[in-house]
A and B are shown apart, each in its own frame.
Chain A
């Protein structure tokens, strides 16, 4: 081939891609008209109109025009979400304009809604798995910093736990915890870009992996709960999939539109740990402590928590410019958030930018979407153990001491057994981090012009993050003097680059040989993750002047660099079959290969199948008009999970650092350590079964679903103790054990009042209810022994290496592992008091009487309750009247328990046996414990609660024809609970050890359009 021809071909190829397609030389005409709502007679914007392959959308005034329509008779179709499709025959005459006005009838929302599913979309009515999509109208209002909080309390079977810190992490569990050592987090997919566990967010400690995403940019969030829906994502989908779709364009209108929304919030602490008052503390120390501790008592009355918390302010501004042309649309958004935490020094700032662009080419046959978003997040953290120090610092001690080096009071002698001044640390130490992150992709969908049923789809995406973090503690603060560390600095510099390349073909058409239609998708996905984690730690700083900004000479300097890479390669396919809109079947299969397994186990196949019967579409029920939907669903699916760490399968040697050398004669030698490894590590598999019923009455006025599921996880990836002498460490990451989650879910959405009348009957009220129950049981851990193996988990504070939870077969994971406290009536106090060191024994005598033990060991330790809620109940009400809207949501958990580690530190010896008397929890006043009773079940508390998560009052109006809304929202309105600690929704592992307190937040918000 000559160079000329090559150039010609390249030129032609580029021309094809970018030059507007030439029109066919056939006679054409024009169709125009107006689309209105049947009931309200209002014009409808952004209705899709098409004739054959010609398509447009209606403008804000409901008008549309289709030019260049070939001569002849055809059908004009109008489609829009929430309306029944309208069709009308039309005859086009060359060179003439035909006017076709259409009316559309509002339809029960829900059934016709387009739901985003894995590698495609489906109408809600056609879905055969357990899938729930929420759009931005459904999202939680108020101060929301991370996307997952938008759906908190909204979906049955989805547990959302946030850690209260600004920009802090939010954990989601879909239908319980399925794994112990592999991840239990769902797979997030943002605009087709998988954001797997450990990506990005792992770079910035404590921060949420989705923190980069401005919640205001989100159009919808879809949760794939059952395995049949999730299995198309195979690997990492064992914990469900959360698909996030960002807003890409405004509805209709050829011109640009600008939306602004902003909020201002104020937050204050709701509950703090209850510690002894200065008066009580003083009197106990004087009565029971030694002369030394009494001598140290001060005269102040300091509430240390008041010194470290404040009323926090938050502001948020979002600006979006959207526009749509005939063949292209775009959305550009910018967001700014500055959120203060209720504990001083904690703050998050985020600057985010997003661009969504869509271009249709070649008579709409080629659809190119470009999504790119970037953010800069700055986080400031509470340094050190300020919350714990505030609980322990003596309330009679002053905050300031003009004679001290730092100006802050500390106990004399700087003993390690004196609590350090929390205010000193808070003000002089720093801990913060900055993360830059960008995520984006280009998606091209090409519909073959000569074979319209076939679509080819290519998705190329990236996720790049760089996080730097630093902490600095000057050598002059008490904590550093006490530990003789004398100054500490730690800097992290982490980068991660993930890339994804996906291609798939989709064929959707009625079948000619058999009745019904099929939709087949098949594709390939290649994703690669590369990360580099660099750490430098300095101890014994020669100067404090540089702070986090430099690396001064130090006594010890430790440098670490870790480079990691992983690959995930997949082939997937799906077949949806729809027979007469009544019988639906879907089959999906995915074959995944992961670099985290040896060659023999790298690949695994994850199949799934689901069936649905839309009973309401049956002829015998069609005449029964009150029933608008009844669908029975059944599904099975297998999903996989990989180890969180790379390279478990390889024998590797880890070199020691400069501070872990050994003397070897007259020199020192660095060491290398062979690590335990498991060449046989293989995929963890979860087999799930789901049986569900979707129902709807009175044109979906009442609708909902009931689901029953069971999930069996086998070959659980688990780091377990292995027989000593068999490998190179005492634990090995291997496939051992199995676990089961089973449960039921109910949801009901009721339009109780439809607000169609005048006056009070203009009130509309929609109420959503969800209820779910999950039961988790660890079935087995160890294949070698017939007996149960117990693995302690749930590290607690107090002593060295103590644990309060257990993994043991037959019990839920993370069951509390405590002794049952014996109580006796105290006639002086006139109440029942725990008897220190007396426990009910697990062993009972022949009569079945309780026996007792004096040591809380195997004779008394038992698995007792667990942190997971038994029932999660949710309710949201949404009321509108005229221009006003009011919404509130309530949440309740029952049967969740928390180990109150703060209370467990409440015993007398903390005041009497330390160098300085520690302040303790008021639990001491109830128990009168002299010594530590860390394993007493009195600290395992029922943390069931009812909480009003938010209440919002809004007012919507039109200004110059544009919609506007102003609102006031209160979050965390009230919590009713018997739990004595700070927050019953502590965290997923159920151990409350000086956790960040929960705030009540009042937000004022405004959204306007120009």
Chain B
């Protein structure tokens, strides 16, 4: 064989070989390597805790990166779509307690109650609720007895997962309560039994959602952990009682039913558990080390180093900071945003049942600090008293662990709230045998506020109007006001007016339509099963 005869076939063969070898490769499968796949996740027993942790994190954080980044949901601004921040804004801005100076998108609508369905913050709140619900549902789908057993879990782990599942259900019930409260329950009731995909779910109704929350909270009572040092920030039997108490308290708002006794019993269970006691220092409840407060029943923990985000207490601290008291909160930020509406200051004026000496407003920044009481321009931060209630400074005066992100936990449920619920449920239900306790509980809060017994009230003074005002004083800026006003039927209408209600500086009546807020327009567009209630 000579070279000449060899060359052509050799070259042809080489080319052909290359082509055939390559053409044989038609497998396009590539699996991700920088994220965890569903098949490998549960091979690590810690993953159950980490997954459950994400459901908790959906209240405190906005994404998987420190500060911001890798966001959970697509929203106008990641930090502005923090669950607690939105919940707080919905509970406080439309009421007589707080006003915000920013004209971000449609945020200023919240100052006035006049929300339209295209309000971006409405959208944020709605999707934050359903992000949590989605996480909880997926957790429950992935942790059925069968699924856990099939992964060869130990008996201890199985028991642990049972408890975790109850916690997930608590968090989901909490989110549905918010949906019931803000959107009137005209929302889809999606559970772990609904398939994951893109089929739009059906609309539910207030009664169904209400009953679901109650039945879930009742069902998990036996499975939730009892409160202990190992349950700080977690759902416990007592947190479930507090949630149940709140749901029962507003039964009249949600379903036109009444269940004052239920609320009374739930609050009683919390109080008589003996686990909690009033914090001797009222201010400590809102400071960087408030995790050590004996009063916390359910807190949303924040941490300057480990739990960093721009919503939550970071928002409450930064947005409350500005004017002459810029940068005095232990955080470097001053966002010149939220102040007190003038009507909230009237909670503290001296009356027969509220003598002088209450120190619960001692931190207000008033005229002396360059702030005015009245507000004629909502965008001017110096109008309205400054309310640096939450600070990133510890009870010993030290700074939190960071000057950028707060250590201060958000007190969602605390004993003081349980005392006031007990008192109000007692008055409303007319139940026998609770009045004396009710007076004791309220007075214990007053003693703390006055530093002595001068603020104590008498039994006839323990009236419903007194209790609403007392809730305003004790729980100011803690995210309860809107729900409270609804229960007293004072949120909309003309009975009680405050600055910028109905977008009038002096305040004007609003239609009862605004007792619930509209479903977000974007949601009506993607889910044709939904109908707007009361709004066009």
| A residues apposed to B, CB below 8 Å | 12-13, 15-17, 19, 21-22, 362, 366, 413, 415-417, 444, 446, 448-450, 456, 458, 481-486, 501, 503, 505, 523-524, 526, 539-540, 555-556, 558, 560-569, 571, 593-595, 597, 599, 602-603, 646-647, 650-666, 668-675, 678, 719-732, 734, 782, 784-790, 799-803, 855, 857-858, 909, 913, 915, 931-932
Which of B25, B30, B64, B403 meets A657, CB within 8 Å?
A: B64
Chain B positions within 8 Å of A564 at CB level: 32, 34
Q: Which residues of A contact B49 (CB under 8 A)?
A: 664, 669
- Tell me the minimal C-beta distance from A911 to chain B in angstroms: 13
Closest 6 A-B residue pairs measured CB to CB?
A484-B332, A659-B66, A801-B76, A725-B190, A801-B77, A724-B130
Known: A484-B403, A725-B190, A789-B525. A858 touches B116 (CB 8 A): yes
Q: Are the C-beta atoms of B104 and A801 separated by less than 8 Å?
A: yes
Question: Complex formed: what's the CA distance from A790 to B525 in Å?
Answer: 9
- How near does chain A come to B1, taking the closest CB pair, in angstroms? 8
Task: Point out the residues of chain A lying under 8 angstroms from B331, CB to CB.
Answer: 484
Contact partner, B234, options A21, A665, A932, Cβ 8 Å: A665
Segment among B11-19, B255-263, B268-276 that sits at the interface with chain A: B11-19
A16 to B, closest residue via Cβ: B7
- Give chain A residues whose Cβ lies under 8 Å from the Cβ of B16: 456
Question: Which of B53, B126, B201 interacts with A662 by CB under 8 Å?
Answer: B53
The answer to whether B15 and A458 touch across the interface, beta carbons within 8 angstroms, is yes
Residues of the B chain whose Cβ atoms lie less than 8 Å from the Cβ of A658:
66, 306
Whether B54 contacts A673 by the Cβ 8 Å rule is yes
Given A484-B403, A729-B72, A799-B103, verify A650-B31 contact (CB < 8 Å). Answer: yes
Once bound together, how far apart are the Cα atoms of A855 and B522, in whole Å? 19
Query: Which A residues are CB-close (under 8 A) to B291?
Result: 663
Instruction: Give CA–CA (A650, B116) in the complex, Å.
Output: 37
Q: CB-CB < 8 A to A597: which residues of B?
A: 28
CB <8 Å contact, A731 and B74: yes
What residues of B have a CB within 8 angstroms of the CB of A561 in the complex?
A: 34
Tell me the bound Cα distance from A485 to B333 in angstroms. Answer: 10
CA of A504 to CA of B134, assembled, Å: 50
User: In the complex, are the beta carbons of B231 and A721 less than 8 A apart?
Assistant: no
B131 to chain A, nearest CB (A): 7
Contacts of A556 in B (CB 8 A): 66, 305, 308, 402, 404
Instruction: Give the CA-CA distance A19 to B104 in the complex, in Å.
Output: 76
Distance, CA A656 to CA B35, complexed state (A): 11
Contact of B65 among A657, A730, A913 (CB under 8 A): A657
CA distance A858 to B26 in the complex (A): 51
Beyond A16-B6, A673-B64, A729-B74, whether A662 also contacts B307 by CB under 8 A is yes
Secondary structure of the B side of the interface? Answer: loop
A484 surroundings in chain B (CB, below 8 A): 327, 331-333, 403-404
Among A485, A669, A785, max chain B CB count under 10 A is at A669
B41 pairs with A800, CB closer than 8 A: no
Known: A565-B30, A569-B25, A932-B103. 16 other contacts (CB 8 A): A558-B65, A646-B30, A655-B35, A659-B307, A660-B61, A662-B60, A668-B307, A671-B53, A672-B53, A673-B135, A723-B198, A784-B526, A799-B102, A800-B102, A858-B118, A913-B379
Establish whether residues B66 and A558, one from each chain, have CB atoms under 8 Å apart when the complex forms. yes
26 contacts between A and B (CB under 8 A): A21-B7, A415-B334, A416-B333, A450-B8, A456-B12, A458-B19, A482-B332, A503-B15, A503-B22, A539-B404, A595-B30, A602-B28, A650-B32, A655-B35, A657-B64, A657-B66, A660-B307, A661-B53, A663-B232, A663-B233, A671-B50, A725-B130, A734-B198, A782-B525, A800-B107, A915-B322
Decide yes or no whether B73 CB sits under 8 A from chain A: yes
On whether the beta carbons of A664 and B56 are closer than 8 Å, the reply is: yes
B155 at the interface (CB under 8 A from A): no
Partner of B15, one of A444, A560, A657: A444
Q: Are A562 and B34 in contact (CB under 8 A)?
A: yes
Q: How far is the CA of A723 from the CA of B127 in the complex (A)?
A: 9
Does B105 contact A799, Cβ atoms closer than 8 Å?
A: yes
B11 touches A446 (CB 8 A): yes
Q: How far is the CB of B370 from chain A (nearest CB, A)?
A: 9
* Chain A residues with CB below 8 A from B65, complex form: 558, 560, 656-657, 659-660
Q: How far in angstroms is the closest Cβ of chain B from A504?
A: 8
Give complex CA distance A646, B41 in Å. 20
Chain B: CB-nearest residue to A415: B326
**A603 to chain B: closest residue by CB:** B28
Does B15 lie within 8 Å of A446, measured CB to CB? yes
Question: What B residues does A734 contact at CB under 8 A?
Answer: 198
B66, B109, B118 interface centre (most CB from chain A within 10 Å): B66
Closest to A858 in B: B118
**Min CB distance, A210 to chain B, in Å?**
26
B232 surroundings in chain A (CB, below 8 A): 663, 665-666
B199 on the A face (CB < 8 A)? yes
Q: Are A659 and B306 in contact (CB under 8 A)?
A: yes
Residues of B within 8 A of A486 (CB): 332, 403
Inter-chain contacts of B50 with A (CB < 8 A): 655, 669-672
CB distance from B150 to the nearest CB of A (A): 17
- B25 & A526 in contact (Cβ 8 Å cutoff): yes
> CA separation between A986 and B134, bound complex, in Å?
41
- Does B213 belong to the interface (CB within 8 Å)? no
A599 near B29: Cβ-Cβ < 8 Å? yes
- Of B11, B26, B197, B326, the residue contacting A727 (CB under 8 A) is B197
Q: Is B420 an interface residue (CB 8 A)?
A: no
Contact between chains at A665 and B233 (CB < 8 Å): yes
Chain A residues whose C-beta falls within 8 Å of the C-beta of B22 in the assembled complex? 501, 503, 524, 526
Chain A residues positioned under 8 Å from B131 (CB to CB)? 728-730
Q: Do residues A663 and B526 form an inter-chain contact, with CB atoms below 8 A? A: no
From known contacts A417-B334, A446-B12, A657-B64, infer whether A672 and B25 are also in contact, taking CB-CB under 8 Å. Answer: no
